[in-house]
Amino acid sequence: MPDITHFLDIEEAPARGVELDPGIYVEPKDKLPDSEDDRQAEWVRLMRRHAPQCLVFAVPNAAKRTRWAAAKVKREGLFTGFPDTGILWADGHAYAEWKNGREGPKPAQIETLNWMHSRGIPVAIVRTPEGCLAWLRSIGAPVPHLVSKSREG
């Protein structure tokens, strides 16, 4: 089992001015109207239908909760800033943080992505299903070339 104790050293409220490691892939901003949730849901649909050799899962960090529920999930291991989705396949894994066309990552997300990247864990900030699929293919994930319905001609 890998040693993850260093993960506990990440501050959940990092100082302002934290910069994303330049080695992390960031899909360029766009002017498409789709929300972050819609983009991620479309990608999940494509992956589950066309890439069954991959296990795709969401990390519901952004869910709205009562104080009691928030404290409970934090005790259970919720970590602020962890990427939105994980992808597992026979010989690899990767994690994608989803954003809409205009926004960038929050400081806690930058800190977590930097921590993961510095330890050789593939991470990216993605905005479109096609962008995420292209990034995954570039790191060796067994995913086909697909176009989401919202972008078909």
Tokens of 137: 């293919």
Q: Classify domain 24-151 by CATH architecture.
A: 3-Layer(aba) Sandwich (3.40)
Write down the pTM of the prediction: 0.81
More confident position, 62 or 108: 108
Structural domain spans, the chain: 24-151
CA 50, CA 31: separation in Å to the nearest integer?
27
**Residues 7-36: tens digit of each pLDDT:** 444 444 444 678 999 999 999 999 999 999
pLDDT at 68: 77
Q: Are 56 and 143 in contact (CB under 8 A)?
A: no
pLDDT band at 76 (very low <50, low <70, confident <90, very high): confident
The partner residues of 57 in beta bridges, in order of sequence, read 86
